[in-house]
Structure 1
Amino acid sequence: MKKNDPYSALRYREFNVFLLLRFTMVFAWSMQFIVIEWVVYSLTKNPLSLGIIGLMEVIPAIGMALFAGHFVDQNEKKGMLLKCILAFSIISLGLYFLTLPSITAKHSTELILYSIYTLVFLGGLVRAFLGPTIFSLLSLIVPKKEYSNAATWSSSVWQMGAVLGPALAGFSINWIGVHGSMSFVFGCSVLSLIFLSQIGIKPILNPKIGEPIMDSLKEGVKFVYHNKTILGALSLDMVAVLFGGAVALLPIFAQDILKVGPEGFGILRAAPAVGAFITMFITAYVPLNKNAGMKLLISIFLFGVCIIVFGLSTIFWLSVFALFMSGVVDGISVVIRQTILQLKTPDSMRGRVAAVNSIFVGSSNELGAFESGLTAKLMGTVTAVVFGGSMTLLILLATGFFSPSFRNLDLQKDVEENG
């Protein structure tokens, strides 16, 4: 039996650069989102305003996702990624100026708020293209036999950036203020451009260059719909993220419930990062391909439990522990889902499948933020979090019961065939 090499994908130089690039972008984007959440809630003291931030990003992200997937499949990936990073840099620079004390002092709260919403909306347009481009570029950097290992490292790095960015945002707001935090985000976007310059131009593997856009979009949606493994994985993660979006309400928990201020907010945000960090190393040494379906179901179930515990907790360190464990199990879920997508998606379809993935999962982060903000307004913050976690458990149990084929999914054969 072939011995597992946990570092096989890391032996490719461009893949290491890719990981640095992906971490920096996810880190910057996540940090920016949390800084903006803090600013908006501080301006309005209204939970619904946190939901509106998510809604402003998710509308263009969903609306443009399929079109973005088509353009990614039709164009060279490095050039597409360059355009995405440049656009993100411009948006970050705009938010930087909006948080200048001299600007906030001269203009009304409403103008600042609506300007932030506008830039977040434009960021949603950029993100529609960013996700499919990153996903497609990965498969061009490592050979197919390394897809599973590369997906593990890439997913773990994404997870780390997605939680370390918000964690640092909490601390940086306290240390250097909102304006200083936004300048740091802009610096990260510049660093991403430097990393990108170290990756070569890749070939376009789509045999249908110039295909009519509507035919291309239909083919992408049709492929995902008929591939029950991909469809099941995307649906489950969407449910978990949509109803388990308690982290969107962390500013309320930090300021009004646990009363721990910016530093406590930073610790709460850091807790999932520590869990994800542990997951990164465990999954590199212990692959999750065998019995992947059951492992995915269990990880999402435990994620729902963690969210409920967090919602009910009035003890700061118990809340931290619940978020830490949510990071551990969510990291497992992300790794398995990304492995499924990499192994089951043809090269010519990667942009469009990633676009559908962004509709199901990526955008559900913002829909989850909106759902959490809305239910917090209607039910109260604690009730909203417990409701979200409970819905995750109910839907997960129903899926596991009614879908034995997904429950019995095993990716080991796919990995061995590609090796």
Structure 2
Amino acid sequence: MVADLREGWSYVRKTRWLLASLLFGTVFVLLILGPLEVLLPFAVKDQLGGGAQDFGLVLAAFGIGGALGALLISSRKLPRRYLSVMTLMWGLGSIPFAVLGFATELWLMAAGAAIAGATGSAAMVIWGTLLQRRVPDHLRGRIASLDFFVSLLLMPVSMALAGPAGNLFGVSAVFVVAGVGPAFICLVVIWFGRMTSDEIANPLDQEEPAVTAV
């Protein structure tokens, strides 16, 4: 088991786009999950004067946006710049999440949640496809397990920090950081992971060349 784990980690360490994506996923969970799970009810109550029904509508918008984003991206071929598009969807797509921290209208808060959900789910579809298409068969289980571990690693930390951060800096400030932070980090991730060159060197879902009859 130790040898298998070592082999999986060695592959991740040598595969820059994969390592960069996993590190970005860890930070993304840290920034986003706590505010969404812990502070959103307070934002709904304090900014909208709403209750459980309004909170449920915002969460529903997040989920519906996620479903639509996943359906849209999965019904098309992978973009040629699939690594950059995936990372930018996570990074720039989180900017509307900041709206949840200062919106005073339910529709605006729901719209921000829906857009963030759509881009996040669309990026997840590309990510899941890449795990199947670009990770060797004999390593796929180990990489998927590492992906799951990374996704859960800072989840409790994010939830634990969200409340104190909201009290110290204010709920609005926490949502702004959670929304804007990934937008800056994703640019570093694209550079560190050498994604722009990697995706060109390893094209996916390209059109097959036409065969001309002789």
Query: Fold match, TM over 0.5?
Result: yes
Q: Confirm or deny: 8 A CA contact 2:62 2:118 kept in the other structure.
A: yes
Alpha carbons of 1:374 and 1:220: their partners in 2 closer, same or farther (altered >3 Å)?
Answer: farther
Match status 1:371 vs 2:161: yes
Task: Please report how far the alpha carbon of residue 409 of structure 1 lies from its aligned counterpart in structure 2 after TM superposition.
Answer: 4.1
Match of 1:237 in 2: 25
Match status 1:258 vs 2:43: no
Alpha carbons of 1:236 and 1:404: their partners in 2 closer, same or farther (altered >3 Å)?
Answer: closer
Match of 2:141 in 1: 351
Aligned pairs (5 A) from 1:194-273:
213-245=1-33, 246-248=35-37, 249-273=39-63
Match status 1:360 vs 2:150: yes
Q: Confirm or deny: 8 A CA contact 2:16 2:192 kept in the other structure.
A: no
Work out the CA distance in 1 between the residues paired with 2:93 and 2:123.
Answer: 9
Instruction: Read off the aligned partner of 2:149 and give its amino acid letter.
Output: I
What's the % identity of the aligned pairs?
23
What's the RMSD between the two structures over aligned residues? 2.3
Aligned pairs (5 A) from 1:15-414:
213-245=1-33, 246-248=35-37, 249-400=39-190, 402-403=191-192, 405-410=194-199, 413-414=203-204
- TM-score under structure 2 length normalisation: 0.82
Task: Please report how far the alpha carbon of residue 404 of structure 1 lies from its aligned counterpart in structure 2 after TM superposition.
Answer: 7.1
Per-residue deviation, residues 199-243 of structure 1 (Å, max 9, x unmatched): xxxxxxxxxxxxxx2222222211211121221222223322321
Q: Confirm or deny: 8 A CA contact 2:47 2:103 kept in the other structure.
A: no
Task: Tell me which structure has the larger Cα radius of gyration.
Answer: 1
Work out the CA distance in 1 between the residues paired with 2:187 and 2:192.
Answer: 10
Alpha carbons of 1:271 and 1:229: their partners in 2 closer, same or farther (altered >3 Å)?
Answer: same
Unpaired runs of 5+ in structure 2?
207-214
Work out the CA distance in 2 between the residues paired with 1:392 and 1:259.
Answer: 29
Q: Confirm or deny: 8 A CA contact 2:94 2:179 kept in the other structure.
A: yes
Q: Confirm or deny: 8 A CA contact 1:240 1:304 kept in the other structure.
A: no
Unpaired runs of 5+ in structure 1?
1-212
Work out the CA distance in 2 between the residues paired with 1:370 and 1:292.
Answer: 34
Task: Please report how far the alpha carbon of residue 325 of structure 1 lies from its aligned counterpart in structure 2 after TM superposition.
Answer: 0.4
Task: Please report how far the alpha carbon of residue 414 of structure 1 lies from its aligned counterpart in structure 2 after TM superposition.
Answer: 4.5
Alpha carbons of 1:256 and 1:340: their partners in 2 closer, same or farther (altered >3 Å)?
Answer: same
Instruction: Read off the aligned partner of 1:410 and give its amino acid letter.
Output: E
Alpha carbons of 1:374 and 1:407: their partners in 2 closer, same or farther (altered >3 Å)?
Answer: farther
- TM-score under structure 1 length normalisation: 0.45
Alpha carbons of 1:303 and 1:373: their partners in 2 closer, same or farther (altered >3 Å)?
Answer: farther
Per-residue deviation, residues 52-86 of structure 1 (Å, max 9, x unmatched): xxxxxxxxxxxxxxxxxxxxxxxxxxxxxxxxxxx
Match of 2:210 in 1: none
SS at match of 2:203: helix
Work out the CA distance in 1 between the residues paired with 2:157 and 2:84.
Answer: 26
Aligned length: 203
SS at match of 1:287: coil
Structure with bigger RCO (C-alpha 8 Å, 6+ apart): 2
Alpha carbons of 1:399 and 1:233: their partners in 2 closer, same or farther (altered >3 Å)?
Answer: closer
Report the more deviating stretch, 371-380 or 286-295: 371-380
Q: Confirm or deny: 8 A CA contact 1:289 1:336 kept in the other structure.
A: no
Work out the CA distance in 1 between the residues paired with 2:4 and 2:167.
Answer: 41
Work out the CA distance in 1 between the residues paired with 2:139 and 2:205.
Answer: 19
Alpha carbons of 1:285 and 1:228: their partners in 2 closer, same or farther (altered >3 Å)?
Answer: same
